[in-house]
């Protein structure tokens, strides 16, 4: 597997895949090989079909199964130079689900319930900017532009940079946060724990944990809140406040406007703009 792994790694890096995608793709091929106790170059279409059925039996989401198939497809086409038949290994139909969002009152409760001041400022930043948790984790001090009142998000999903608004309230909170840090030499806006001496940024898993703990403390755990919930809430609240979809698309870093239209299903402003046809019926009491 070592030689094949090296070839796959090089092929992924040549195409400038994201680090998380590289890890997922290589890990998928390893698990595929371990499932059949054979080297992956000795496995064929029948094994792929059996493995797909196995993944679905494990109750994995269609999107996750699709991602695993994409990894195997890349391995067979780019590494083994073998043909791949989509007809024989069809991707599962995806399920459309609306994301969960919080009301502004619930966002307030969540932020106020943060376990530490550090967790609080991270949650504030997620909601104020709509950043993904990894994007927030990787923010540098130099990314906060108080002159133009924007925050630069660099190397977001798809390796794209973008600017988002810098709330005056968030700027004040970030300044207080920076004054509270023991080490001012770190380049990271949210440095990791003291044992790293500010050399590393906070991990994405730490941000997830901070959000989960705050949700429990705020009595919102039943809503299955995670950092992306704040991103969805950010977009929905902007839409309800009158922002147009194109602006929200740019702020979120969506490649396609269609991705952003999902928030039309979540905004009370749009849901309540049209009455139900039931109200026009002259029904007997």
Q: Which residues of 194-204 are buried (b: 16+ CB within 10 A; e: fewer)?
A: eeeebeebbeb
Are 104 and 237 a contacting pair, CB within 8 Å? yes
Name the one residue in this structure whose structure tokens are 């969002």.
101
Q: Please pick, among 157, 200, 212, 226, the residue that the annotation labels catalytic.
A: 157
Q: Please pick, among 119, 120, 231, 232, the residue that the annotation labels catalytic.
A: 231
Is 134 tagged catalytic?
A: no
Is 160 tagged catalytic?
A: no
For the record, the structure tokens of 151 come out as 């925050």
Are 17 and 8 a contacting pair, CB within 8 Å? no
Is 184 tagged catalytic?
A: no
CA distance 204 to 191: 12
- Could you give the maximum distance between any two Cα atoms of the chain, in Å? 77
Q: Please pick, among 119, 120, 201, 254, the residue that the annotation labels catalytic.
A: 254
Q: Please pick, among 132, 134, 177, 201, the residue that the annotation labels catalytic.
A: 132
Are 114 and 108 a contacting pair, CB within 8 Å? no
Is 263 tagged catalytic?
A: yes
Is 47 tagged catalytic?
A: no
CA distance 86 to 88: 5
For the record, the structure tokens of 269 come out as 């402003």
Is 196 tagged catalytic?
A: no
**Active-site residue set:** 132, 157, 228, 231, 254, 263
């Amino acid at each position: 597997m070592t030689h094949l792994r090296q070839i796959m790694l090089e092929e992924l890096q040549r195409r400038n895949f994201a680090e998380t995608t590289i890890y997922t793709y290589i890990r998928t091929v390893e698990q595929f090989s371990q499932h059949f106790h054979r080297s992956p170059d000795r496995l064929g279409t029948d094994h792929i079909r059996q493995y797909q059925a196995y993944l679905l039996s494990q109750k994995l989401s269609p999107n996750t199964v699709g991602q695993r198939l994409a990894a195997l497809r890349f391995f067979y086409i780019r590494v083994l130079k073998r043909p791949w038949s989509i007809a024989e290994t069809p991707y599962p139909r995806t399920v459309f689900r609306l994301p969960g969002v919080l009301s502004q009152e619930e966002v307030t409760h969540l932020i106020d319930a943060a376990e530490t001041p550090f967790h609080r400022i991270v949650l504030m930043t997620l909601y104020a900017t709509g950043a993904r948790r990894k994007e927030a984790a990787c923010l540098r001090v130099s990314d906060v532009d108080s002159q133009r009142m924007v925050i630069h998000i660099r190397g977001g999903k798809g390796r794209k940079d973008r600017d988002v608004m810098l709330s005056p309230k968030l700027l004040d909170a970030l300044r207080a946060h920076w004054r509270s840090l023991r080490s001012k030499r770190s380049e990271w806006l949210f440095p990791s724990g003291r044992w790293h001496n500010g050399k590393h940024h906070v991990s994405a898993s730490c941000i997830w944990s901070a959000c989960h703990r705050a949700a429990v403390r705020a009595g919102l755990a039943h809503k299955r809140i995670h950092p992306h919930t704040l991103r969805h809430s950010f977009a929905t609240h902007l839409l309800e406040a009158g922002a147009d979809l194109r602006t929200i698309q740019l702020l979120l870093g969506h490649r396609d406007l269609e991705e952003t239209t999902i928030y039309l299903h979540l905004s009370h402003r749009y849901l309540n703009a049209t009455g139900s046809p039931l109200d026009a019926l002259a029904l007997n009491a």
